[in-house]
Amino acid sequence: MSAPAPPSAGLLSLRGIDKSFGSARVLREVDLDLAPGEVVGLMGANGAGKSTLIKILAGVHAADAGRIELMGEEVDDLAGRPEVGIIHQDLGLVDTQSVLDNMRLGARPLALLGPLLNRRAEIDAVGVALARVGLEDRSVFELVGTLTPGEKALLAIARLLERGARIILVDETTASLPPAEAAWFIDKLREAAACGTAVVMVSHKLAEIRLAADRLVLLTDGRVTADAPMSDFADREDDLVRLLLGEEVEELAEGAEARPSGRGEVVLELDGVCRGVVGPVDLEVARGEVVGLTGRVGSGLHEIALIAAGFLAPESGTVGVRRGVRRAIVPPQREIDGVFAELPAKWNMTLPALPRWRSSLRLLRLGSERGAAEAMMQRLRIVPDDLGMPIGQFSGGNQQKVLFARTMLQEPDLFVLCEPTRGVDLRTRREIYRLVQEFKGQGCGVLVATSDVEDVIAVCDRAGAVEDGAVTRVWAAEDLTPEVLAEIL
């Protein structure tokens, strides 16, 4: 598909952007133009270069080649410029500070006289900014930690608009938002665009991009392979999916919905478990079944999963695990709880499973360890296939695959998967769903704790809703629908 002509009144122009990490070429001659008032959806497979491109614009990485022009001026990057704001997945907010202090953090002080702050002017300015994104009912003195995830995302938009941002780059911000709050966030981005702000939205969720974007830019192996108005894809859903999945679309579709029966012995039982705001919780997971837990972020969903995996101890109640049962977990926040960013991919995969490769003399069989890691890298199609590269240099989706490889190398009887598809592309999502079915078919028990409706519907035999730390309702697979689950999300 040919790219359209560049906008006549561009805010941002990229030409020939190249970037490599070692032998891995991540971006290849990327061209991109951005005009006032448009929302551009940036999509591509994990490892396609989306986050690397955003990090170059943010000044985290330097491009190896190419040119960046901001409103006609050639610049090295966009860092520190009030005309440009970047909203990362972690939002950059401080939960223990007030809304007011978060809004003014790093901003030029509004002075009353000399070094004296004009606090009233700051309060008024923040109030106006909050009203622009629909948060006028929130007090500027509230702690940010009391806001919902969606409100925090809107606060991040308000902070950029209050500082005069004309370009907003959104990097996977909706990945951890419940559907209703993600839609709310997208509405406010559209409103900002209607007032002349240009928005680039990175997302793996095709439905969100269709809802939000005027234009789609697709990266494949570091190159721009499509750049066209979303209207071009209005009646071509299959073509768009093929662009995102590549040539493997039929292969990936096979077996994703398979749910073979065969519930075996119970491997995990929670009986009246309580910890903090969680509980009491009763839950069973048996061999050969996938049990889901779903709810809003902050509902206690992930705490229940961590208790089930043995990472948190209950304050009361019992966690029953059959003798000899091994448990392994994919944690909810890979950046904090999962990966060791500075360590190579191989170590991130194999550290918990090292006893597998110890000889009778307690020496580590390095060749066997490496061979197992290489096999996992090939099986899960981890890109780049470089076991020595620090895991922090991999894309988020490929880091997620490394965490799946880690759990598989531990050969557990019970998999606990928290937000298994967070921040992954469509291809990887389908691969993960197929893996879950494999675990189940091998006679393992699987507990999936997710705020993503699609995960629950795709793989779970039954699922419970978590509200205020308790499992309030349970549905069988045939009763799981987006409409039912939307009630709690």
167-171 average pLDDT score: 89
421-434 average pLDDT score: 84
pLDDT score recorded for residue 438: 93
Domain with CATH 3.40.50.300 in the chain: 12-247, 266-486
Q: What is the dihedral of CA 79, 145, 424, 63, to 10 degrees?
A: 10
Q: Which amino acid is it at 208?
A: E
Give 247: exposed, middle or buried? Use CB within 10 Å, 0-12, 13-18, 19+: exposed
- Measured CA to CA, the distance from residue 201 to residue 472 in angstroms comes to 35
- Measured CA to CA, the distance from residue 354 to residue 360 in angstroms comes to 13
Distances (CA, A) of 359 to 67, 350, 353, 362, 411: 54, 16, 14, 5, 18
User: Would you tell me how many other CB atoms lie within 10 Å of the CB of residue 338?
Assistant: 20
- Measured CA to CA, the distance from residue 188 to residue 199 in angstroms comes to 11
pLDDT score recorded for residue 252: 41
Least confident of 57-61, 81-85, 334-338: 334-338
Average pLDDT of the residues of the chain: 85
Instruction: Give per-residue pLDDT as tens, 192-208.
Output: 899 899 999 988 778 78
Instruction: Give per-residue pLDDT as tens, 211-261.
Output: 889 999 998 888 998 898 988 877 666 666 666 665 444 444 444 455 555
The answer for residues whose C-beta is within 8 angstroms of residue 141's C-beta and 6 or more apart is 98, 99, 100
- Measured CA to CA, the distance from residue 446 to residue 253 in angstroms comes to 21
pLDDT score recorded for residue 114: 64
- Measured CA to CA, the distance from residue 379 to residue 30 in angstroms comes to 30
pLDDT score recorded for residue 361: 83
In this prediction, residue 7 has a pLDDT band, given cuts at 50, 70 and 90, of: very low
- Could you tell me if 303 and 296 are in contact, meaning their C-beta atoms sit under 8 angstroms apart? no
Distance of CA 152 to the CA centre of its chain: 16
pLDDT score recorded for residue 255: 43
Nearest to 401 by CA among 369, 378, 368: 378
Instruction: Give per-residue pLDDT as tens, 22-81.
Output: 777 889 999 999 999 999 999 887 778 888 898 888 888 889 999 999 988 888 888 878
pLDDT score recorded for residue 452: 81
- The CATH code of domain 266-486 reads 3.40.50.300
362-388 average pLDDT score: 91
pLDDT score recorded for residue 78: 83
Model pTM score: 0.70
Q: What class does CATH assign to 12-247?
A: alpha beta
pLDDT score recorded for residue 91: 83
pLDDT score recorded for residue 253: 44
pLDDT score recorded for residue 3: 45
371-396 average pLDDT score: 90
